[in-house]
Chain A
């Protein structure tokens, strides 16, 4: 019934249409309709001729409203004959046109020709139109075992405001299983191709509806929404995160889903389902992840070479008609592949759309997150996009990063073109975040130091506080005492060393000099020790430790005396030129006592240290 209405509507156009717009005519039209995936591509080669006297620089293309609504992409390029070296083609500018006296049910686009066509001149160009949602599943609901049949409707004749001299149409199908198709004169079927035409000398607005009903088990992957976030870090990474909301846009599945059948014969019981998607990521993509709201999805495979990185992802479950899924993929790209500098500005040059193969995107939102402190931002996109700015607060940001949001509806793989974001960014701003971290830690440590050193007691007169204070003083004094004692011990060592020198060299004078120096220093030290001991004696909190300290001092003094005695004995012995053995014998007993004393002093020192 839908199609009959369509018939009627086309018929109405044909009646209402004014005869011809200008004196242009299409001398040859070749149309090829590719129905091999769920994205319908119509590629037409048009040869226009100017039959009138005026110069013409624009050609109108007409599409019925039905088709125009689904049109995602339209591009016209000058036709190049076969065999020529393919130069980079420059697309002809295409605009929406609203010519007068035209039926309202048609949408027009005007193609500007590179140079005006004079009388009799001709020009050949290609038009590629891409449509989404143009295949309608019939029946609309199928079971797991059914195959998916879809219907495509168009006209056998090229719908044009100009008369067409000669034309032909080829419809390419995914395979040769065709349920039904409209048979007109000159219809040929050849494998998976249906050919209509050639038809000759048809007036403007000729229309002859055709419908092809065929089997298509291609993945009808439709992303209802895709949010793509491109985050630039000047530390060398472009991080891309893509959030997909996916649906199988084909015939709805009904009835049971049997895993048993699906596992046993997936191609028969589940032919219309798709199990995986392929994404062609840029080369050198790294840290790829694939997850959804509830965690990582472990079914994905990554293959990479120098040209591209291929990511094959399987949704958590096979996608039957009408089933939905949502997931996120993310990957990092090296910055130098995408960020360039020109005229003091930096610009990001990256593809706009999703890397997924044959994916229709109903709404695509691209967010470009620039580093904090970027300014003077502008965007250059190859097609019209809605755009606005946001800010995003990420790690260690103070006032957020500027985000450029670009929104476009009805996106097909043909939109995967490069776009540019220009901005200014000072390299020094890169250091902001590390400096923040460093200063954060610095202040933390400073706070710790202040806390450890500062006296934050509230009541300075409380007993416990005073006791603690006194104890600290005592400790400081004991520290000093220990210092002095250890210096004394060091001097003893020096004396011993001088004795050893004496054994070796026999230089009595040097030994005596050392003795003299030691004497004076020791005297000095004992003078220093005296006030310390009196403070300790006067302090009540030192009462516990005082005996030990006093013992230490006494022992040290004893040790000192013994060392002196030994020293004098040895020096005397040398002066009297006694034999070494003799001296040693005399010293031996002293030496034993010395060692014992030294041990005791060390023990005491250790003991005091442990308090």
Chain B
């Protein structure tokens, strides 16, 4: 042997060696620090809007949640539970405690209480704004444990990282998006994780925990229906594939029975678990499981297979017959309610369009476009099938679950845009399996190769696959380079994913939508704060009992920020009421005034983007008002507003269109306004046309307020003229 160089500083090396952690400790340290970093990353990547705008509540629904949370913290839980809200759905009102999922509000109020107990005097708004990012961070932890449960720690780590920045999830969990989904995705994944853990261990404790997870989910979001249908489906699949075990029996029974009882405590859900068609699958599977168990026992008792076959036939027939009769009777007597429209529209995407325009009118209920899949999942879309392949390759109870969760939720994501959210955790987990398995295989290849080069020929000391190794040895250089190239490819793709996610979060999902921002002529940022301008004007300068009529989109914001009573709001529980507003908006002024007087309307609020070019305004939503109004009141006919099936607002528009209330309110005195250089007065920038009716006179209404960019216009209903 040649003379080896002698290390000069041996004592120092010894010192370092004594501090050196063992491999296991190193691994633990790395794992924990990665998890901590992912936790922090998941939180801070959602803070774009807070930094760019301010700590504020976004969108529409979160304003209602914020208002109720405020009420909860100020008046306590019992007042909240018994709250009858006079400020919405005038003159009907709304029983808030019985018509919402209180999980989110109670969670935020609890965090608020804890912080105050620890003497952090934060405002409830800050808590509400940061609830969603906080739960997103917790979701990454759950994803890690879930990944660990179904595959290994590596997959868990990758899943945590993927879900931390996945745009599909970020879209509903940025700071300020104080909506049910923010905590619900955490609850959903947590419930699934606990259930899978329960199935894997057969432990009563885990299934009890999953029942409580389910309870939290039920209290937080209507999406719990997905859980209560997916889990029975999963159990059914396990039964069919012959994977029935005592573990499954324990897990499902405990989870179902306790979960159901707990869920009944939520007033909005009530007895639906035993009365509604959507929940019947779970109950059916529950009974099926009992029958299965019984048969298993009988089979154990009877040693004669023929006898057992006969017995089986009779029992199954009886059970199915009894079940069918029970279901039929329940349906006929009306005890079991049929499926709701939303549920139908999930199974049949065209259902809503034909039958329930109010569901179809919401943009987030539209079928998903391919581009938005790409936008929200990026490389996960390609990794998902790869992950499925790995799952099928190593089939276990847990991987079957994730496969089913992935496939069903992908279907729902295709039906409705907003359900991409539900699919995101599954996609992240399955993709994480793909990434982790691939990278692991490649690195194993690389490491064994390195050793081989060093030591020459080691004859399979610990390797079990001697043959494959021999094969590898043959094509050594190519394999090694290939592995390196693939690793770099994976790294490149993942880094692309990270940049894409950050870009999407920053550009698409971090605008509060209540404050609009645009680039000015000199590249400076121009802020259109018209919504708040109008709502604050309402709050300050109208009588406290004034009733405001607007399209339902703005209802929550008007009550929360304007503090005024609205006729309809985003809780679209009464279609007729909304249709009445739609009818008023699409009638002539003197017909509309009758409707408005009958509803005690004092102010009418419309959103108009003609000056700024803001396209999601009331004129663009107007056809939905016509449709929804016409759905209840046949006086309103959609063709009256169209010319040759075309919707237009310029000179060629239908006469009814040009003179209906909505048109008049949006374009009142707009004909005198110059919006763009070189265009005639009354040029609508949102639709790019010159308006057709420039001489609008209002008889029963008067302009009360218009915001600085004309985005919100408020009109006052004049008192009736004196008769004499």
Please report A residues at the B interface, Cβ cutoff 8 Å. Answer: 255-260, 263, 291-298, 316-317, 322-326, 393-398, 440, 497, 500, 503, 584, 587-588, 591, 595-596, 599-600, 603, 606-607, 609-610
Contact = CB atoms under 8 A, between A and B. Distances in A.
Q: Which 5 A-B pairs have the closest CB atoms?
A: A259-B706, A324-B540, A296-B54, A316-B533, A294-B561
Interface in B690-719: 702-708, 710
B706 A587 contact: no
Nearest to A588: B1
Interface string B458-473: 1001100000000000
A326 B540 CA distance: 8
Interface residues of B, number: 44
B24 A257 contact: no
B447 to A, nearest CB: 10
Contact of B541 (A323, A394, A440, A600): A323
Given A256-B703, A294-B532, A603-B461, A396 B54 contact: no
Given A259-B703, A259-B706, A324-B540, 9 more contacts: A258-B703, A291-B54, A294-B532, A296-B53, A297-B529, A317-B536, A393-B121, A584-B1, A609-B24
A600 B53 CA distance: 61
Contacts of B451: 599, 603
Interface of B: 1, 3-4, 6, 22-24, 53-54, 56, 118-121, 451, 454-456, 458, 461-462, 515, 527, 529, 532-533, 535-537, 539-541, 561, 669, 672-673, 702-708, 710
Nearest to A551: B461
B53, B119, B540, most chain A CB atoms within 10 A = B540
A393 B119 contact: yes
A259 B118 CA distance: 49
A325 B540 contact: yes
A295 B539 CA distance: 14
A317 B119 contact: no
A54 B317 CA distance: 125
B704 A257 contact: yes
A320 B6 CA distance: 89
B144 to A, nearest CB: 19
B121 A609 contact: no
A563 to B, nearest CB: 13
A257 B119 contact: no
Given A317-B537, A326-B540, A606 B23 contact: yes
B56 to A, nearest CB: 5
A291 B53 CA distance: 13
Contacts of B707: 259, 317
Nearest to B674: A264
Contact of A500 (B4, B54, B541, B703): B4
Contacts of B673: 260
B540 A500 contact: no
Nearest to A482: B22
B536 A316 contact: yes
Given A259-B706, A326-B540, A609-B22, A395 B455 contact: no
B16 to A, nearest CB: 14
A391 B541 CA distance: 34
Contacts of A297: 529
A440 B120 CA distance: 13
B706 A257 contact: yes
A583 to B, nearest CB: 11
B276 to A, nearest CB: 38
A296, A323, A325, most chain B CB atoms within 10 A = A296
A202 to B, nearest CB: 48
B455 A596 contact: yes
Contacts of A503: 3
Contacts of A257: 703-706
Interface residues of A, dominant DSSP:
mixed
A295 B532 contact: yes
A295 B669 CA distance: 31
B231 to A, nearest CB: 27
Contacts of A292: 536
A599 B462 CA distance: 12
Given A260-B672, A394-B121, A610-B23, A298 B704 contact: no
Contacts of A440: 118
B119 A397 contact: yes
A574 to B, nearest CB: 15
A610 B152 CA distance: 14
A452 to B, nearest CB: 12
Contact of A324 (B56, B121, B529, B541): B541
Contacts of A316: 529, 532-533, 536-537
Contacts of B1: 584, 587-588, 591
Given A294-B535, A603-B461, A610-B23, A395 B120 contact: yes
Contacts of B118: 440
Nearest to A611: B24
B3 A500 contact: yes
A248 B81 CA distance: 40
Contacts of B53: 296
B533 A595 contact: no
A277 B702 CA distance: 29
Contacts of A295: 54, 56, 515, 532
A608 to B, nearest CB: 10
A556 to B, nearest CB: 15
B129 to A, nearest CB: 11
A256 B702 contact: yes
Contacts of B708: 259, 263, 317
A497 B6 contact: yes
Contacts of A256: 702-704
A316, A396, A610, most chain B CB atoms within 10 A = A316
A296 B529 CA distance: 10
Contacts of B54: 291, 295-296
A127 B381 CA distance: 82
B537 A298 contact: no
A395 B458 contact: no
B706 A258 contact: yes
Contacts of A393: 119, 121
A19 to B, nearest CB: 54
Contact of A260 (B532, B537, B669, B705): B669
Nearest to A322: B541
B136 to A, nearest CB: 23
B698 to A, nearest CB: 9
8 contacts: A256-B702, A258-B703, A259-B706, A295-B56, A316-B533, A317-B533, A324-B541, A595-B455
A317 B542 CA distance: 14
A316 B534 CA distance: 8
A78 B480 CA distance: 100
Contacts of B706: 257-260
A328 to B, nearest CB: 12
Contacts of A606: 23
Given A259-B708, A259-B710, A260-B672, A500 B6 contact: yes
Contacts of B539: 293-294
B448 to A, nearest CB: 11
Contacts of B704: 256-257
Contacts of B454: 599
Nearest to B56: A295
A396 B120 contact: yes
Nearest to A603: B461
Given A503-B3, A606-B23, A255 B532 contact: no
A588 B515 CA distance: 80
Nearest to A397: B119
Contacts of A398: 119
Contacts of A599: 451, 454-455, 458
Nearest to B669: A260
A143 to B, nearest CB: 11
Contacts of A610: 23-24
A317 B705 contact: yes
A610 B669 CA distance: 78
A511 B536 CA distance: 92
B121 A395 contact: yes
